Amino acid sequence: MSSILYLVLPCYNEEAVLPATAAALEKKYHTLMEQGKISRESKIMFVNDGSRDKTWHIITELFHANAMFCGVNLSRNRGHQNAVLAGLMTAREKADVVISIDADLQQDVDAIDAMLEKYENGCDVVYGVRNARDTDGFVKRNTALGFYKLMQVMGCEVITNHADYRLLSRRVIESLSEYGEVNLFLRGLIPTIGYPSDIVYFDVRERQAGESKYTMKKMLSFAVDGITSFSIRPLQLITLLGFVMLLVSIFIIGLTFFEFYTGRTVSGWASSYCSTWFIGSVQLLSLGIIGEYIGKIYMETKQRPRYHIESYLWKEEKSEES
Ligand code: UDP
Ligand code: MG
């Protein structure tokens, strides 16, 4: 018997792209069902992440037009990672296997076939890895690659060029549900869960409509989040830096004594001026890094819920539309 596949698509202000996305996915699902690769109970789930435009309205229309579509409406914008999580946790009740993919379908949906094949062959996690970064501008391409490198140097198990296009079996989602962290960084978290996994390569297209919700500022904070949620290496680097600075200061003290006894003490203005600035900025940076971790601990200790679901659009017993 073929498996029940749920696709989870986080949507934030995606009114421009949703109709085309829905049409493409409907076609894909029909093909997969006819080929017997997925069960006819499979669904396409849109998670509305507190959009301010007509996204939820469009999802509602899609749901009424075709039972293949279902929807989850979050109570407000909680960010991409939480929206994906809400979709996964809702889908796990019905699905054997779930694939998360962006609502703009920049990721090639034809990779789903290869993902399902790997799943049938015993993989619980299949990571979608993008082939080339031609569609990104120079800055985005290089900052993204630098980000993966930095993450790996910092000791976090991320897969280069894998974003949130991935297949997860039900048992992986069950395991994921046991992680209660508020600072969610799925692409760092999933590899730590384990189970057999593999990679499928896919091509990336330009965004067909609407615009990217990931501004440079959001990407930077996402990168900082990723590193500080998975690695304490920055804190260890501060200790190392402190040690190196101590050695340097011992040398400078020696030098100062030498200058004092040779009667040239007035000439030290430039060096003391520079070192005051340098040491001051290193201290501030170190405090900032430590503060970043304290902030995380603060957020985690509160154990606040990561999202609230306002309503579902779901045929069968769970249809409580609003
Ligand atoms: N997204 C979301 N909540 C947010 C921001 C983004 O659910 O607060 C969704 C968005 O609708 C899209 C996916 O996350 O489906 C990826 O966003 P986008 O395509 O803008 O990012 P990019 O591909 O430019 O990195
Ligand atoms: Mg996109």
- Condensed to tens digits (0 to 9), the pLDDT of residues 100-136 reads 999 998 899 999 999 999 999 999 999 999 887 666 6
Atom of ligand 1 nearest to the CA of 11: 11
Looking at residue 98, the DSSP 8-state letter turns out to be: E
**Is residue 198 within a helix (H) or strand (E), and if so which, with residue range?**
strand 197-202
| Euclidean distance between the first and the last CA atom of the chain, given in angstroms as a whole number | 35
Residue pLDDT, tens place only, 5-21: 999 999 999 999 999 99
Token couple for 93: 């009740």
pTM over 0.85: no
Which of 25, 213, 225, 306 maximizes ligand 1 atoms within 8 Å of its Cβ, making it the mutation to test the pocket?
A: 213
- The pLDDT of residue 8 is 97
CA atoms within 13 A on the CB side of 310: 14
Do 114 and 186 touch, CB atoms closer than 8 A? no
Greatest mean pLDDT range, 160-164, 173-177, 179-183: 173-177
Measured from the alpha carbon of residue 16, the closest ligand is: 1
252 pLDDT band, cuts 50/70/90, is confident
If pLDDT is split at 50, 70 and 90, which confidence band does 317 have?
very low
Q: Which ligand is nearest to the CA of 17?
A: 1
| Stretch 39-53: mean pLDDT | 95
Contacts of 219 (CB under 8 A, 6+ apart): 140, 143, 147
CA 181, 220, 217, 53 dihedral sign is negative
In this predicted structure, the answer to whether residue 185 has a pLDDT above a threshold of 70 is: yes
Please tell me the predicted confidence (pLDDT) of residue 247: 84
161 secondary structure, DSSP code: T
The half-sphere exposure of 96 on its side-chain side, counting CA atoms within 13 A, is 16
DSSP alpha helices (H): ranges in 154-215?
170-176, 186-193
Per-residue confidence band for 319, with pLDDT thresholds at 50, 70 and 90: very low
pLDDT for residue 322? 40
Q: Indicate the pLDDT class of residue 273, thresholds 50, 70 and 90.
A: confident
Give CA–CA dist 154/207, Å, rounded: 31
Q: Which among 9, 12, 44, 203 is the best mutation to test ligand 1's pocket, defined by most ligand atoms within 8 Å of the CB?
A: 12
Greater model confidence, 157 or 197: 197
Residue 4's pLDDT is: 94
- pLDDT at res. 141: 76
For range 248-258, the mean pLDDT? 83
7 CB-near residues (< 8 Å, 6+ apart): 25, 43, 44, 45, 98, 99, 100, 101, 112
pLDDT of residue 266: 67
Query: Is pLDDT at 254 greater than 90 in this prediction?
Result: no
pLDDT of residue 267: 66
Q: Is 79 in the pocket of ligand 1 (CB under 6 A)?
A: yes
pLDDT of residue 285: 83
Interhelix angle 233-261/269-302, rounded to 10 degrees, is 160
215 lines ligand 1 (CB under 6 A): no
Round to whole Å and give the CA distance between 45 and 21: 12
Q: Distance, CA 48 to ligand 1 centroid (Å)?
A: 11
Percent of the chain at pLDDT above 70? 95
- CB-ligand 1 contact for 106 (6 Å cutoff): yes
CB 182 within 8 A of CB 304: yes
Rg of the chain over all Cα atoms, to the nearest angstrom? 25
**CA-closest residue to ligand 1 atom 22:** 212
Residues with Cβ–ion distance below 5 A, ligand 2? 102, 104, 106
Ligand 2 centroid vs 107 CA: distance in angstroms? Answer: 8
Report which of 220, 201, 240, 237 is spatially closest to residue 146, judged by C-alpha positions: 220
- Tell me the pLDDT of the chain averaged across its residues: 87
Does residue 321 register a pLDDT over 50?
A: no
14 Cβ closer than 6 Å to some ligand 1 atom: yes
The pairing of strands 125-130 and 69-74 is: unpaired
| Cβ-based neighbours of 87, under 8 Å, separated by 6 or more | 8, 9, 10, 45, 47, 72, 98, 100
